[in-house]
Amino acid sequence: MIYFGSFFAGIINGMFASGAGQILVFMLIFILKQDTYRSRKLSLFVVGITSILTLLRYIKMVDVNLKEIIIVIITGIIFGTIGTKAMKKINPNILNMISGLLIVGLSLYKILRGG
């Protein structure tokens, strides 16, 4: 099951550059019954590595602005570090509820926006 979920999360991240972390967290917490914090840490690590590899692939295929990529990486590292420290202070049930609300909100936005 872990192999299938990881494969699916990698495909989603590679194709859409989003959502894979949430799929992986859902699978680890609710299907494999792993600890919430550990699942989120593992998800961040896996999606980070996958994102780097995907970026390297996209650089070969698409004209990208390297300056913008560097700015996004630096701000991502800064706020990712802050978010990780804040995550430790939030109850796991609240953390899962926030994630669910974000997914529902993003899904509704995509549906109402038409794609």
CA pair distance 58, 75, nearest whole angstrom: 20
Whole-prediction pTM: 0.57
Whether residue 41 contacts residue 81, with contact meaning beta carbons closer than 8 Å, is answered with no
- Rg of the chain in Å (alpha carbons): 15
pLDDT digit string (tens) for the chain, length 115 residues? 667 766 666 666 555 555 667 777 878 888 888 888 888 888 878 878 877 887 888 788 888 788 888 888 888 888 878 887 888 888 988 888 887 787 778 778 777 887 5
Whether residue 55 contacts residue 69, with contact meaning beta carbons closer than 8 Å, is answered with yes
Neighbours of 13 (CB within 10 A): 22
